[in-house]
Structure 1
Amino acid sequence: MVDVPASTRIPRGYPLLIAVAIAVAGLCYSSWVLEFVLPIDTDPVNSFLSELDAEGKPYREVFATADKLVGLLLIPAAIGGLLVFRRRRLTTVGWVALACFGASTIADAMLPLRDCDPAVSACGGGLFPQLHQPHALTSTLAVTSIAVAAFAFSAAAYRYHRWWILREFGVVVLVVGSAATIWMLVADNLSGSYALGIAQRIQVGSMSLWLLALAAAVLVEAREWTS
């Protein structure tokens, strides 16, 4: 069978649409910065971002809508990535994980954090608090999915010698996000306050930056393959 050149397999407009969708999703996922603009009484050092769109919060719809847009943009973008770009094992894992991340953010918005008294055992705690707070489960799935996507695309960038933006800038962002995640996991099991709110904001901010890096990589990769 004759291998059809990549330039004939990738219509020029499709990668642009995929890149724009991913970039806009990255910007929407950084909607938490509005907490510094809107009249919201939050403590960024110690509060979690899930509290911004918790049940009963005044600007819940703003943040929930942004999360839904993330999912509605990333799911078709990931499917488009699978159909448009050459399929390889690591990039396939990356696109599928990206779609899972999009679905998880939609679920995150539809299952907001509930007001809960920590003294009540049914509210959470124990080994599996996710069983008591569905929002904790969807948030865990979202973070896990984008972590898998980031690691898969980074590994693909090195193994296949492509996606150079992810080899350089993307890996730096991935390291910063991973450090913030470790900060949260360790500090959450220690007594005292360790600025978990700052750690989560660094973590989520790195996710948005990585999505922007992926969008740029899609554009560059498409330009190389269609030139």
Structure 2
Amino acid sequence: MSRPRPHSDPDPASGSAGRAGDGHRAARTGAAVALLAAAVCYASWLLAPVLNPGLRPVRSYLSELAARDQPYHLFFQLGDVVTGLCAVVAGVLLGRVAREVPRVARWGLVVFGVATAVDGGWTTMDCAPSVDARCARLEELGELSWRHQAHTVTSSVAVAGALLSLVALLAVLRGPARRRTGLVVAVVLAVGTVGTLVASVHPGYGLGLWQRTQLAGLSGWLLLAAAVALRGTGSRPERSR
């Protein structure tokens, strides 16, 4: 009669590793979902022809959609706030589990998120200068509220954070498909940003169209970051940093 085999207890280390792996996957999925939500909310300006057809696509800043004297401004403000909060959450989650993503890329995402949330929640414009001559005159004289004047600062910080994050992300992307996608997004964002800067000095150069190109690039960057959060950069993740 053979002796019964001794019962072997499960390895606690393997169980802990499995739970940690599940936690990492959940965090990466959460970051990807947050980035997808941010990209969608940041594209709320696509509804402008329906909600606020009075603003001119060629000449108007997209930020004027959220100006406090414009119809449905709360909708566009909420879009920016949700975008910013989702970006911050994604940046924090990626900092915990996606060590292959450069720290600069993660912090750029957080900077973009904070600045965008502040932009939508506190530093919205008072009025829309592209369609309101009185507003344009008051803006020129510096007689509008501090929030209106601070809007340029928060918007610029948001774009700077996004550009920094995208450049850092491009440096670690591996594989032809990922690199091509990253380069297309970078070109669209760079062209839109440069065009916006030039047209802000020469308003007749199609400011609205350039800024819409810029925001399309920003949404593309958020989608690219979502793909990286979910599937990685294409290189072997580092264990620690």
Q: The TM-score by the shorter chain falls in which range?
A: 0.7 to 0.9
Specify every segment of 5 or more residues in structure 2 that has no aligned partner in the other structure, as ranges. Answer: 1-16, 128-134
Task: Calculate the aligned-residue CA RMSD, in Å.
Answer: 2.9
Report how far residue 29 of structure 1 moved: 0.4
Give the Cα–Cα distance (whole angstroms) in 1 for the partners of residues 53 and 201 of structure 2. Answer: 28
Match of 1:134 among 127, 144, 150: 150
Asked which structure has the greater CA Rg, the reply is 2
What is the aligned partner in structure 2 of residue 74 from structure 1?
Answer: 87
Report how far residue 147 of structure 1 moved: 0.8
What is the aligned partner in structure 2 of residue 22 from structure 1?
Answer: 35
Q: 1:203 to 1:17 in 2, by over 3 A?
A: same
Give the Cα–Cα distance (whole angstroms) in 2 for the partners of residues 132 and 53 of structure 1. Answer: 11
Residue 216 of structure 2 aligns to which amino acid in structure 1?
Answer: G
Match of 1:199 among 206, 210, 213: 210
Residue 184 of structure 1 aligns to which amino acid in structure 2?
Answer: T
TM alignment of 1:53-132, pairs within 5 A: 53-86=66-99, 91-109=102-120, 110-115=122-127, 116-118=135-137, 120-123=140-143
Partners of 1:18 and 1:215 within 8 A in 2: yes
Q: 1:46 to 1:132 in 2, by over 3 A?
A: closer
**Which moves more between the two structures, 195-204 or 111-120?**
111-120
Q: 1:40 to 1:106 in 2, by over 3 A?
A: same
Report how far residue 30 of structure 1 moved: 0.4
Q: 1:59 to 1:43 in 2, by over 3 A?
A: same
Structure 1 residue matching 2:24: 3-state secondary structure: coil
What is the aligned partner in structure 2 of residue 156 from structure 1?
Answer: 172
Partners of 1:187 and 1:194 within 8 A in 2: yes
Percent identity over paired residues: 33
TM-score by length of 1: 0.82
Structure 2 residue matching 1:193: 3-state secondary structure: helix
Q: How many positions carry a matched residue from both structures?
A: 210
Question: 1:212 aligned to 2:232?
Answer: no
Partners of 2:91 and 2:106 within 8 A in 1: yes
Report how far residue 48 of structure 1 moved: 0.5
Report how far residue 140 of structure 1 moved: 0.8
Give the Cα–Cα distance (whole angstroms) in 1 for the partners of residues 217 and 169 of structure 2. Answer: 15
Listed one character per residue, the Cα deviations across residues 67-118 of structure 1 (whole Å, up to 9, x for unaligned) are 1101111111101101101266xx1001011001000011111211123443
Structure 1 residue matching 2:218: 3-state secondary structure: helix
Listed one character per residue, the Cα deviations across residues 131-167 of structure 1 (whole Å, up to 9, x for unaligned) are 970111111111111111111111232xxx47x6642
Give the Cα–Cα distance (whole angstroms) in 2 for the partners of residues 46 and 122 of structure 1. Answer: 21
TM-score by length of 2: 0.78
Give the Cα–Cα distance (whole angstroms) in 1 for the partners of residues 39 and 67 of structure 2. Answer: 21
Partners of 1:123 and 1:132 within 8 A in 2: no
Residue 201 of structure 1 aligns to which amino acid in structure 2?
Answer: R
Residue 84 of structure 1 aligns to which amino acid in structure 2?
Answer: V
Q: 1:123 to 1:170 in 2, by over 3 A?
A: farther
